[in-house]
Structure 1
Amino acid sequence: MIKLSKIGRYEFLAEPFHCDFTNHLFMGHLGNHMLNAADFHSNDRGYGMHYLNTVNKTWVLSRLAIEMEEMPKAYDKFFIETWVDSALKSFTSRNFKVISESGQIYGYGKSVWAMIDLDTRQPVDILSVRDGLIKEYIETEVLCPIEKSSRVKMSAVPTPLCSIETYYTDVDINGHINSVKYIEHVLDLWDLSWYKEHCIKRFEIAYVAESHQGDKLHFYREQRDRDTDFNVRITKSDCDGKESEVCRCRVQFV
Structure 2
Amino acid sequence: MEKLSKIGRYNFLAEPFHCDLNNNLFIGHLGNHLLNAADFHSSDRGYGMAYLNTIHRTWVLSRLVIELNQIPKAYEKFIVETWIDSAMRYFTSRNFKITNNDGRIFGYGKSIWAMIDTETRQPSDILSVREGLINEYVDKDYPCPIVKPSRVKIDDNAELVRTIETHYNDVDINGHINSIKYIEHVLNLWDVDWYREHQIKRFEIAYTSESHQGDSLSFYRTSSTDEENQYNLKITRFKSGQEELETCRCKILFS
TM-score range, shorter chain: over 0.9
Structure 1 distance, partners of 2:120, 2:240, is: 22
SS for the counterpart of 1:115 is strand
Q: State TM-score, norm by structure 2.
A: 0.98
- Conserved 8 A contact 2:157-2:222: no
Count of residues in Structure 1 that have an aligned counterpart in Structure 2 = 254
Q: Which residue of 2 aligns with 1:215?
A: 215
Structure 2 distance, partners of 1:100, 1:144, is: 16
The Cα of 1:240 is off from its aligned counterpart by 1.4
Confirm or deny that 1:253 pairs with 2:227.
no
Q: State TM-score, norm by structure 1.
A: 0.99
1:45 partner amino acid: R
Q: Which residue of 2 aligns with 1:99?
A: 99
Confirm or deny that 1:141 pairs with 2:141.
yes
Structure 2 distance, partners of 1:168, 1:196, is: 30
Structure 1 distance, partners of 2:50, 2:14, is: 26
The Cα of 1:242 is off from its aligned counterpart by 2.1
Structure 1 distance, partners of 2:142, 2:55, is: 32
SS for the counterpart of 1:129 is helix
Structure 2 distance, partners of 1:2, 1:90, is: 26
Structure 2 distance, partners of 1:156, 1:122, is: 31
1:208 partner amino acid: T
Structure 1 distance, partners of 2:2, 2:176, is: 34
Confirm or deny that 1:174 pairs with 2:174.
yes
SS for the counterpart of 2:197 is coil
CA RMSD of aligned residues (A): 0.7
Where has structure 1 moved over 2 Å in runs of 4 or more? none
1:215 partner amino acid: D
Structure 2 distance, partners of 1:221, 1:199, is: 18
Q: Which residue of 1 aligns with 2:243?
A: 242
- Conserved 8 A contact 2:49-2:59: yes
Structure 2 distance, partners of 1:2, 1:210, is: 36
Structure 2 distance, partners of 1:216, 1:40, is: 32
The Cα of 1:241 is off from its aligned counterpart by 4.4
The Cα of 1:227 is off from its aligned counterpart by 3.6
Confirm or deny that 1:115 pairs with 2:115.
yes
Confirm or deny that 1:191 pairs with 2:199.
no
1:250 partner amino acid: K
Structure 2 distance, partners of 1:102, 1:39, is: 25
Q: Which residue of 2 aligns with 1:89?
A: 89
Q: Which residue of 1 aligns with 2:204?
A: 204
Contiguous gaps of at least 5 residues in structure 1: none
Contiguous gaps of at least 5 residues in structure 2: none
Structure 1 distance, partners of 2:85, 2:243, is: 39
Structure 2 distance, partners of 1:235, 1:223, is: 18
Identity of aligned residues (%): 64
Structure 2 distance, partners of 1:89, 1:46, is: 17
Q: Which residue of 2 aligns with 1:76?
A: 76
The Cα of 1:157 is off from its aligned counterpart by 3.5
The Cα of 1:239 is off from its aligned counterpart by 2.6
Structure 2 distance, partners of 1:141, 1:206, is: 25
What per-residue deviation string (whole Å, max 9, x for no partner) do you get for residues 188-211 of structure 1? Answer: 111111111111000000000000
Structure 2 distance, partners of 1:133, 1:240, is: 45
